[in-house]
Chains A and B, each alone.
Chain A
Amino acid sequence: MTYDIAIDGKSYRLDLNRTDGRWSCRVDGREVEVDAVLARPDVLSLRIGNQAYEVKCERVAGDMHLWVGSARFAAEVRDPRSLRGRARAVDGHGPRKLTAPMPGKIVRLLVSEGVEVEAGAGVLVVEAMKMQNELKSPKKGTIRKILVSEGAAVNAGDVLAIVE
């Protein structure tokens, strides 16, 4: 199986196959000796050569992060044969969603639909644990849609607005 794996934005080609419980693995064409045991859901005990690692997987709102020791890596797994996977790699074009990074309450809308915004401009204010946080536009564009109203309770990952 071949994957394009982006770690903190940098892409690696990974060839991974398993036969009889043994993994064979190539990272960017280079062979790596790997032995893996799933210790429990989201926790992998890895041996690379004789080095032992405990890798934790964090999945929140569709994002995947991997922890190797105390280092955290944003990971994105793409199947190079998937067309949409490729489309995703192109950034800055098309609509972008503004999602809630945490559960909370919408206390204020700072813009309305149809308004032009700069990248980083405040779109709305979410309150959680008695603190208010301004959520900013992920890109320069037009506020295509606002999907929440003031006072609404939202969950992490909920789409709040779309900027195009």
Chain B
Amino acid sequence: MFKKILIANRGEIAVRVIRACHEMGIAAVAVYSDVDRASLHVRKADEAYPIGAPAASESYLNITKILDVAARSGADAIHPGYGFLSENAKFARACDDAGVTFIGPTAAAMDAMGSKTRARQAMARVGVPFVPGTSRGLESFEQAEEVAARIGYPVMLKAAAGGGGKGMRLVHAPEDLKSSLEGARSEAERSFGDSEVYIEKAIINPRHIEMQVLADEHGNTVYLGERECSLQRRHQKVVEEAPSPIVDPDMRKRMGEVAVRVAQAAGYTNAGTVEFLVDQQKNFYFLEMNTRLQVEHPVTEVITGLDLVHLQIRIAAGEKLPFTQDQVMIRGHAIECRIYAEDPDDNYFPSPGKITLLLLPSGPGIRRDSGMYEGWTVPMDYDPLLAKLIGYGTDRDQAISRLTRALNEYFVGGIKTNISLFRRILSDPDFRAAKMDTGFLDRLLKQQRPETAADPKATEVAVIAAGIFAVLGAAAAGAGERPVATDSANSKPTVASNWKIAARNEATR
């Protein structure tokens, strides 16, 4: 087993991995950029090394600097977390060359999955289902007609060179095919200088469901059940749950076996995730494989009772999977909320800054993976994910009610967070009925939020509390702005003079 692991990441995932190291008796080495000296992962680590400027390219993405720290600290393995270098085959190769174990798949497996066309060919050979259609450009209208009739309407025409919705046409009926094809072609020609267009079955209101896999270096590959990640905003996952409310044991088995075939076809080792698009008839289609630990891995951990980071480390150290597929059991239900530093009232604009007050939820069925603490200033340089709140219970309803209760206990002051968004989602009748698809959240956010008139009782409470805080003065103030009054913070609350209050009000204006 490794003696020392370097964590090439920051934030909640670095803390998560450091914890696993300590649980396994392994020393943890943190790296940090100039703005992360005070970050939680540095506080939790056994050793910490500065790696330069805030820009990720100068620090967390800088392979040379990270390998230099590995050499200086004597780390025998590197955990990349997610994001940053986690899916960088060049980095995995550089670790190999430097004689440090990369905790993750091999560079070759990453390469195989990185190229969409190569991945598709390899997958097609082992019978992995894709969204039906042509993967090459259409040669004629007749061919388009023939393919569309075979796969069934509605169909989607897509520019081969496309992106950003340009050169895309949704076709509901055969009589619209000709004009749509012409339109897509000319738009593709104008936008990309390439009129090649291919055709795919249009999946209306799909769900995004992914399968966790784990493979050791001795040829054993298992699946650990699915996660439903249909709640996304601008293709960013917001809420994930396991198991998926629409997947039954038979479907789980079929999806799981496909996921295992995908992993095996790529010679995959360590933890990975196979993403599927699922249509309304519960047909599933391969999307891509994520060759890393996912942000949402805790929901799988909770319902399987397994620790994925422990297992990643054991696999990387050459151990065999300590269980077989038959021994993987799913129990209960778990839902994760991604707490972001962003302002729900200002178009989810990022909201870095100092956390002046932090009240944490706890109690039954709650897990919190966090990278923040009270008094810490959230830097503006990175992804705004602060923490993940996971609620679990015997069934989905209990998981939702525990999560709702915990969200009401959770308070992050000083910066804006999206906590209120989760209250809205969790109380939505369609969410409660598990009627979800990838367009759910965009539709919910377009709805006018029901105008709730301020509760007069709560308003009165606010009036009284404002007055009491004014009387108590500086002694009642937390990690936020210190009023410039002369009362020292540790003096007993005293009735401040009106002059002082006036001065304070002036000073904070």
Contacts and interface: CB of A to CB of B under 8 A. Distances in A.
A binds B: yes
Given A70-B408, A73-B459, A104-B380, A1 B495 contact: yes
Contact of B468 (A7, A16, A73, A85): A16
Interface residues of B, number: 58
Contact of B464 (A40, A41, A46): A46
Given A36-B468, A70-B423, A81-B498, A41 B454 contact: no
Given A70-B423, A129-B381, A129-B383, A46 B481 contact: no
Interface stretch (B93-101, B238-246, B353-361): B353-361
Interface residues of A, number: 62
A34 B464 contact: yes
Interface string A13-53: 01010100001010100001010101011111010100101
Contacts of A66: 462, 465-466, 469
Interface stretch (B137-145, B291-299, B500-508): B500-508
A129 B413 contact: no
Interface string B460-492: 111111111111100111111100000000000
A36 B466 CA distance: 12
B466 A77 contact: yes
Contacts, number: 191
B414 A57 contact: no
A115 interface: no
A103 B378 CA distance: 9
Contacts of A56: 357, 359, 411, 413
10 contacts: A42-B356, A56-B357, A57-B477, A60-B353, A66-B469, A68-B462, A77-B467, A77-B469, A85-B502, A102-B380
B452 to A, nearest CB: 8
Most chain B beta carbons < 10 A, residue from A57, A78, A131 = A57
Interface of B: 341, 346, 349-354, 356-357, 359, 377, 380-384, 408, 411, 413-415, 420, 423, 454-455, 457-472, 475-481, 493, 495, 498, 501-502, 505-506, 508-509
Contacts of A128: 349-352, 380
A27 B414 contact: no
Given A43-B359, A70-B420, A5 B353 contact: no
Contacts of A70: 408, 420, 423
Contacts of A32: 460, 464
Most chain A beta carbons < 10 A, residue from B346, B383, B460, B498 = B460
Contacts of A7: 459, 462-463, 466
A3 B341 contact: no
A61 B481 CA distance: 7
